[in-house]
Amino acid sequence: MVQVAGWAVRLDPERGPGVVESALLAEYQRILAAVQQAAALVSTRQIGELLDLDTGVRGKLEPLRGKLTKLAGRGWLHKRPDGKFTARP
C-alpha cells in the first residue's frame, strides 16, 4: 500500500521474476485461476460463467473485462486481438 493524496492505494504488481500470484488482490487471484483452469482461449463471458456471475447482464461483465485487461496489461494474462484471454506460461 502507498499513500496518494491521503488515500491508501494498493499497487498491483507487474508480473516478473520473483513476483508470485499471491501478491495480487484475492479477486484478481480468483480471475487468474479461472483463466488458468480453462486452459484455452476464453471470452469475458466464459470467465464470468466460471466465476458464477450473472452473465446475462452486460453491466456485470464490463468490470470483469476491465480486470482481465488490467491483468493482461501487467503481464499476468495474454489478450488476443479478438478480445479473448489466455494464461501466460
Give me 73's grid cell. 496489461
Provide mean pLDDT across the span 59-82: 93
What pLDDT was estimated at residue 1? Answer: 60
Q: For the chain, which domains are there?
A: 39-89 (1.10.10.10)
The tens digit of pLDDT for each residue in 7-66 reads 766 667 777 777 788 888 899 999 999 999 987 899 999 999 999 998 888 788 999 999
Residues whose CB falls within 8 Å of the CB of residue 25, separated by 6 or more in sequence, listed in order: 10, 12
pLDDT for 80 beyond 90: yes
> E strands, the chain, where?
2-4, 7-9, 77-79, 85-87
Which residue would you say has higher pLDDT here, 3 or 2?
3
